[in-house]
Structure 1
């Protein structure tokens, strides 16, 4: 059996999670997929070759001009893992200048040359994926097997765009005049500024950067202040792969200076496009700051995903989907189920089965413990926000079925929580929770479910379970989201267009669509033929 689970885990299925596997198999799975390590500190030591205390600009490892640093903390233990430079406006501008200079030659490389470098990067990630996973768990906290799933997912973008680099096709347009020939060329847009989140510190960089590099763009990347090491590790591998100086640049900064770095990327006329994954509020600021230079902006912002279970659903399938969708990464994903809506005919049965699954399958602990399925929240602010959502719901009539408190382990741990009798007036339905809390609300009709699902200003992902084929078509078409999971709770993949509608963002990442964000179309009219 262990070999079977190993094959599943090591495949590049999207964001593989232990939640899909029986509890009894998880320790075996950990041991089979990688050398098990008992503590975060040991995991970091074994990945020490990737622990960089400097940022990466123009092919060099550099400090902040001021010499200032920020500490990187393991959210599970509170231990300081190390420091990275706390950079601001000046260093960001240096990175932009380096990227712009490098673009002048990088844009002229052939698609085949760019493809070969991305393939080398893919191979290097594959060779080092266990160490990259340990590093990711140490700085972000997610379970080790889940971290390995992310690294596999991240490497798949290097592989995919190594192939897509050679498939950027233009067009020959039929001409209305015999003396003319009409062409449409696709060319790289220029320097791409990228601001990436802490919850997927490896894959969110590769999903953006590999598409840009394949198109012929250069990059300036600002990773999240909580998780800079995964970004710097990727920079080391890009350097080893042979990407020229200035093509990949990493600028690290604290929360205090992040706004400075972001403003440089948005306001500089040398930067052609901004790609950001994060909160809706921050995305709006970046969009406004980019207006003066009329940049192209790609935004993957907050979600408030509905997860609808109709009376006709396969209940066991819906429970499995809800577990994977809600509790992956301890609920800290933009596409996780946020508003779980269950039709009245099966409401009580669903809540009962869901509670039993939570209590049986979820284990809270350090990510380096092989039995853990739920790591810590990223920091104290996140922990406080999650508890506030729970307390607000309870004060307005919701009932705690299981969990509902800070975990006895202390630190940044919170109990996996199930709330029933939730109403639309509660914060947990109005706002994105971003934590291990599952609020379940009852509905009567399909029309009511759609009205509630579409009542928010976000529209990233939505899920529903039904065996009624007519209903499946209706609901899939009417949900106001960019991503729909039908009888499926985990929908990400390298091949698909990832992005939202309404205030959940602009543009798409991944698949054949993702490279278009970094390409311009040039029309050429040739006369006198």
Structure 2
């Protein structure tokens, strides 16, 4: 395969100012896929300048024209799905099926926001005392810096680029250093679809933190959209405070699963399996803490372990493998250490638990006997490890589910009425009831507490890149 491995600034692919590069590695075998251009401070500021220069014309472009470019990008990604899938498999390590599902999901954001671009709402009404007309319109917020993680390198890019461009903002995309090739492909698709020079820019700054701070300090940058860890999100919020940059944050999660008494055991196991194993567990929405009622606990653990025994682990380019590598050996070792710590704290491994010698692989794992508050219960696992806690009282299960600084997503399995009542008591931005997947481009994605600020996707996603302007009219 051939890859774009350069910066994209003002409509041109080019090397960084000092010609430095970094390696992009296939985590399945440790081989180097490509050397990607590293951006200097001068490169980053040039990207901001290009976006600033392109903003007036792009923001004045008709919503229909912006919509048509996004729709052409959707068609390109749809036609080239296998190519996008293979790029993700190679640089991220995920299984082919997971990468293919992400390619479809990512592509749909371009279609959804192509439709939303022409439907931005406003308001026109008489003031209560009758002295004027109140007109509220929405305008692009300005230059947007978009920072994306390695675990969903295509979907997180399109979920930010699509609403920003639909709104009329110009953009600088900063992907994770582990997965820049996917981001470069998405940017190339937008360029081929007709995005004007300067509207979409791509930089990979080295060192990352100081150069991101430099871009945020530029007066032209008025929006930051970040997906990543809560720790880094806090630092970026501090940086945004200096110039009062509008911030959208999609941060960490620690998703609970509550299996209620009376739940259909087969449905609960199947749903929990999908919630846990999607993307090999490397998802902020992944099931992290499985609270199972005592009446179902033993059967649930046994069936979950049996289901995981059929998981086939290996490189994603082999389409028969259903669990790929984690993004790096360091990430694999971090997950393995959580399992070891759980055992030291009194839990037992029911199934799996081993790291493979070759590549960044770890077996699909079930750990039982975990207590609420154990280390593995408080950390975001980000791997294929299911940690099960037994409980007796539903009120206690709800308390434990809410006993975290995170509030991104939760899963509830049980009789429909009971499950819905419990779902309303959980402090999270998204709840899946009797299902293991909830992400949808047409639905608002985001969390409460320290899981983030704002929403992506849905009708709400484009509003993150627009500002209200009120006009008082004498009519």
When the two structures are superposed, what TM-score results if normalisation uses the length of structure 1?
A: 0.88
Q: Which runs of 4+ in 1 moved over 3 A?
A: 176-179
Aligned to 2:345: 396
Aligned equivalent of 1:316: 266
SS of the equivalent of 1:192 reads: strand
Q: Which residue of 1 aligns with 2:244?
A: 294
Equivalence for 1:207: 159
Following the alignment from structure 1 to structure 2, what is the Cα–Cα distance between the partners of residues 176 and 464? Answer: 45
Matched, 1:383 2:332: yes
**Aligned match for 2:61, one of 99, 109, 126:** 109
Q: Note the 1:439-450 alignment, pairs <5 A.
A: 439-450=387-398
Q: 1:138 pairs with 72, 82, 90, which one?
A: 90
Counterpart residue number, 1:406: 355
What SS class does the counterpart of residue 233 from structure 1 fall into?
A: helix
Deviations 1:419-467 (A, max 9, x none): 1110123211011011111110001111110111001100100001011
Correspondence 1:123-272 to 2 at 5 A: 123-176=75-128, 180-254=132-206, 257-272=207-222
> What's the offset of the Cα at 1:468?
5.0
Partner Cα separation in structure 1 for residue 463 and residue 130 of structure 2: 31
2:292 corresponding residue in structure 1: 342
Deviation at 1:118, TM superposition (A): 0.7
Per-residue CA distance 1:478-529 (angstroms, 9 max, x = gap): 10110100001111111100000000000000011100000000000123x4
- Say if 1:441 and 1:523 are closer, same or farther in 2 by CA, change over 3 A: same
Where 1:512 maps in the other structure, the secondary structure is coil
Cα offset for 1:179? Answer: 5.3
Does residue 500 of the first structure (1) align with residue 447 of the second (2)? yes
Q: How many Å separate the matches in 1 of 2:465 and 2:215?
A: 16
CA distance in 1, matches of 2:64, 2:181: 30
Q: Distance in 2 between matches of 1:338 and 1:220?
A: 33
Kindly state the Cα deviation for residue 93 of structure 1 after the two structures are TM-superposed: 1.1
Residue 375 of structure 1 and its aligned partner are, at CA, apart by 0.5
Q: Is the contact between residue 96 and residue 322 of structure 2 (CA under 8 Å) also seen in structure 1?
A: no
Q: 1:177 offset after TM fit, Å?
A: 5.3
Aligned-pair CA distance for 1:178:
5.1
Unaligned ranges ≥5, structure 2 = none
Counterparts of 1:279 and 1:231 in 2: how far apart (Å)? Answer: 19
TM-score (normalised: structure 2): 0.98
Whether contact under 8 Å (1:118, 1:162) holds in the other structure is yes
Structure 1 unaligned regions, length at least 5: 1-44
Supply the distance in 1 between the matched residues of 2:255 and 2:134 (Cα, whole angstroms).
45
CA distance in 1, matches of 2:39, 2:211: 8
CA distance in 2, matches of 1:394, 1:90: 49
Residue 129 of structure 1, CA deviation = 1.2
